[in-house]
Structure 1
Amino acid sequence: MEELDLLKKHWKKNENFPKFSKDEIQHIIHKRSSSIVKWIFYISVIEFALGIVGSFFITSFISKEEMIPNKIYEKMDTYSPIITILFYMVLVYFIFNFYKMYRKIAVDSSTRELMKNILKTRKIVNKYIVFNVVVVMISFMVGGIIGMLSIDHSDDLKVNALLFNGILSAILLVMSCVLALFIWLFYRIIYGLLLKKLDKNYQELKKIDL
């Protein structure tokens, strides 16, 4: 009788709490995951739009002809549009994949499929972050090198030009690494919080699937 009474008391203590079935829990996690990936897509689109606007203002207000030597400017004028188009094509590719993963997760799927799509989304976001960090670092270094080549050394300084450029290159490399770290941290804050929530959903789905 004592064991039966204990079971009854335990039941009464828990009867106020909602009891969810396995399918209901999966549906809740599914809805949350869909919302997270949707925000990843929205943020990437906003970032893409701001990048285009920023590039437009930079090219409008900065006169490259006055700042860059003719030989370098001619080469930039030839290859810069191609590099820019390739860069934006890669960004569009990532954004398209974010949208595709959102559509996949938004559609009703099994627990295993949802887990698989969460892992795919996480990989795509991490690749997107790495790509942007590398591009920013390379762009900063290329800009710095062009600036170095634009410096007109006088005859007195030509002897020390190699040493001067070496020191400037070292400073440029350190600044590029610092900038890359800052950009990486910025992305980890924005996308990292969303990925953390996705990982939490994945772990919960993993428990359900066991």
Structure 2
Amino acid sequence: MLCLFDLDGTLIDSEVGILGCVRHALTQLGVPHPTEMRHWIGPPLRHSFAPLLEHDHDRIEQAVEHYHERFHTIGWREHTVYPGIEAMIGQLKAAGHELAVVTSKPERHARPIIEHLPFGGAFSRLYGPHPSSPHSEKAAMIAAALADFGAKPEDTAMIGDRHFDIDGAVANRVRGVGVLWGFGSRAELEKAGAHAMAATPQDLTALLSA
């Protein structure tokens, strides 16, 4: 099976780094920080900045650039691996599954994270949008992975914690597996049409091995 993994909220807990960069960007623009920010993790940056910046294109682009400046220097290191993930990846790889990462994070930001993970070498490919893209593009990236691996949709799973992951899976008719340890919710994943749910990495290993 081809197993496509989301990054933030699925393999790593990146809340500290992402929100630190969001706060930095807003501070640079003199914009007060929202009190609740967890919903920023998952959607494309421009989508999240737009309401706060009154949909002003130039200010949104400035915010994204400030975000990237901090992320490039320190933000990419501010994360932890969820317990059980390393063992799960090792088990899936040993069982002969093909593994890849499909993330809304620009590839230039995701690649150093993947390369520094103790299990990063298990992933054959990394798919991330261009930094200038306003869209998550999960559907397009999953389609590219299917083509690159020559995989059938019925032999492929997209694993993630937000509806963006499941939306992309549904668009490509692959199994969408929601994980409950990330930044989404069971209700969000069910509404998007998740094929199955995993409460722990051990549960996920069992689901993907079934």
Q: TM-score range by the shorter chain?
A: under 0.3
Work out which of the two has the higher radius of gyration on C-alpha atoms and give 1 or 2.
1
Higher RCO (C-alpha under 8 Å, 6+ residues apart): 1
TM-score normalized with structure 2 length:
0.23
